[in-house]
Amino acid sequence: MSASEISPARVTLDPQTGVLRGAGVTESVKTLRQLAGYFRDEAARAAMDPETVLYRVQSYEPQPEGVEGAICCATTFLMPGRVGDEYFMTRGHYHAAQDRPEMEVTVSGEGVLVLMDENRQTRAEIMRPGSVHAVPPRTAHRVANIGTEPLVFVSYWPSETGHDYGEIVARGFSGRVRQINGKPALVPEPEA
């Protein structure tokens, strides 16, 4: 029997920082300019520096988006801050293949995962280092940073999933994470 080579991983995820490195890792950045219309107080957003970086995402997708055959992962680095009383947050989305779930694992920082089902019922879970969150099928998900340092978390989803941002652009979430009397709260948002 001849020994075959044991090869190193082509991609690494630093467990301390969440940084993904290696062949096929891509990175994207979202600034305040790109989140026009997402926050409750659009005037406050428009008055801030549009080049303010809200979050960066490093992704490792072994198959292209929408093509089955892999599990993808991505680290999101979400900065601390607020637009008015609303904490910095990701855009949020449903999955295009609606029956596909997701998992979030928090690396560092303090956040809130907002989950909205297809009946627009919204609930939220606290994200802390080590917390693991199952996002069920047919559930829109968004993350808010309620802390003072970057919130870092890793997401896992099947490659065939695809992302659907349209419904959130059109109708938003039915609850927003806002600072009320100095503390974060999930506040119901009446539809316009």
Task: List contacts with Zn ion (CB under 5 A).
Answer: 102
Minimum distance of Zn ion from residue 159's CB (angstroms): 12
Positions 158 through 187 that interact with ligand PAN (CB under 6 A): 163
Tokens 């008015």 map to which residue? 84
113 interacts with, out of Zn ion, ligand PAN, none, CB within 5 to 8 A per kind: none
Q: If 0-12 CB within 10 Å is exposed, 13-18 middle and 19+ buried, where does residue 48 land?
A: middle
Binding status of residue 124 toward ligand PAN by CB under 6 A: no
Q: How far apart are CA 103 and CA 95, in angstroms?
A: 13
| Per CB under 6 A, 57 contacts ligand PAN | yes
* Type of residue found at 56: R
Residue span binding ligand PAN (CB under 6 A) among the ranges 39-47, 86-94, 126-134, 184-192: 86-94
3: Cβ contacts below 8 Å, ≥ 6 apart: none
Would you say 11 and 60 are in contact if contact means Cβ atoms under 8 Å apart?
yes
C-beta of residue 114 within 8 angstroms of C-beta of residue 124: yes
Whichever of 86 and 102 has its CB closer to Zn ion, that residue is 102
Q: Does 90 bind ligand PAN (CB under 6 A)?
A: yes
Nearer to ligand PAN, 82 or 141 (CB): 141
Residues that bind ligand PAN (CB under 6 A): 57, 74, 76, 90-93, 102, 141, 143, 155, 157, 163
